[in-house]
Amino acid sequence: MPIIVNLDVMLAKRKMRSNELAEKIGITTANLSILKTGKAKAIRFSTLELICEILECQPGDIMEFVKE
Amino acid sequence: MRKLYILKTIVDFIWIMSLLFYPIILFLTFFFIFTNEIIDVPIKITSVSIDLTSPLGKIALVAGNIYFIILLVALFYFRKLMNNFRKRLIFEETNQFLFDKIGSLVVVSSIVYLLTDFIASSSVNKVEINFGYGPFLYLLGLGLFFKVLAEVFKIGKTMKDENELTI
C-alpha cells in the first residue's frame, strides 16, 4: 500500500511504548500492531484524533504517501 | 437461529434415511443390472416406469443412481455448512467454497436428471416433451442460486475482513 504508517517513529520520538499508547487510545495492542505494520485497511477519524492528541502531532507526522 | 435448528433436523433426517436405504437401493440396482428377471413391482425412475429387461432401462437405473449419489454428496456438504452456521462461522472462506461446491453438484445433478429422464422415457419407447416447470428447472435454478450465494459470501468475507482491519 502506498500509505506508510510512521507510528513507531513518532513513538520513539515521544519515548512512549506501544502498549502505553494502546491503553491511552483504548484499543488492543494487537490492533495497534496491525496499524503499525501497515496491515490495516482503514483508520477511524476518532482513533486518528486520539493518536494525534496523545502524541501531540499532526496526521501527516504518522502517515505519509509514497508512490509505488 | 431456531429456524436453523429446524432445517438442520430436517437435513439430518433426510441424510440418515438416505444412508439407511441407499445400500438396499444399491443392492437392488446391481441385482437388476445382472439379472433379467421380470418382477411385477414397477420400478420408477424420474416418474417413468422403466423396462428393466432392456439395456436402456438398465442404463436409466444406473443414471438414476448417479443422480442420487450426486445429490447425496451435495447433502453432505450442506450438512457441513449447517454445522458451520451453528458454530457462528458465517462469512468464512470454507462456507464460500461449500456453497460453490453444492451449487456445482446440484447443477450437474439437474443435467443428470434430464439425461436420466430421457433414457428412462426411451427405454419404454415413450418419448415425451413436457412443457412447464419440471424438477430439471428447479434443480438448475437451485444450483445456480447456491453459486450466487457463494459470490455473495465472497463479498461478505471481504467486507468482514475490511471491518476487522479498521482500527
Q: How confident is the model at residue B127 (pLDDT cuts 50, 70, 90)?
A: low
- Residue B134 — φ and ψ, nearest 5°? -110, 175
Residue B70 has pLDDT above 90, yes or no: yes
- Across the range B143-161, mean pLDDT stands at 95
B23: number of Cβ within 10 Å = 9
Q: How far apart are CA B142 and CA A28, in angstroms?
A: 44
> Three-state SS string across A38-66, please?
CCCCECCHHHHHHHHHHHCCCHHHHEEEC
pLDDT score at B49: 79
Q: Which residues pair with B83 in a beta bridge?
A: none
Q: How confident is the model at residue B128 (pLDDT cuts 50, 70, 90)?
A: low
Q: How far apart are CA B122 and CA B116, in angstroms?
A: 10
Domain ranges of chain A: 3-65
Q: How confident is the model at residue A58 (pLDDT cuts 50, 70, 90)?
A: very high
Please report the residues numbered 2 through 61 in chain A whose beta carbons come closer than 8 angstroms to any beta carbon of chain B.
Answer: 27, 31-32, 34-35, 39-44, 47
CATH of A3-65, one of 3.40.50.11900, 1.10.260.40, 1.20.1250.20, 2.30.30.90: 1.10.260.40
Q: How far apart are CA A58 and CA A37, in angstroms?
A: 19
The distance of Cα A26 from the centroid of its chain, to the nearest Å, equals: 13
Give B115's contacts (C-beta < 8 A, 6+ positions apart): B63
CB-based contact, B161 to chain A, within 8 Å = yes
Q: Which residue has the cell 458465517?
A: B90
Domain ranges of chain B: 2-164
**What would the grid cell of residue A28 be?**
488492543
Least Cα separation, residue B92 to chain A (angstroms): 18
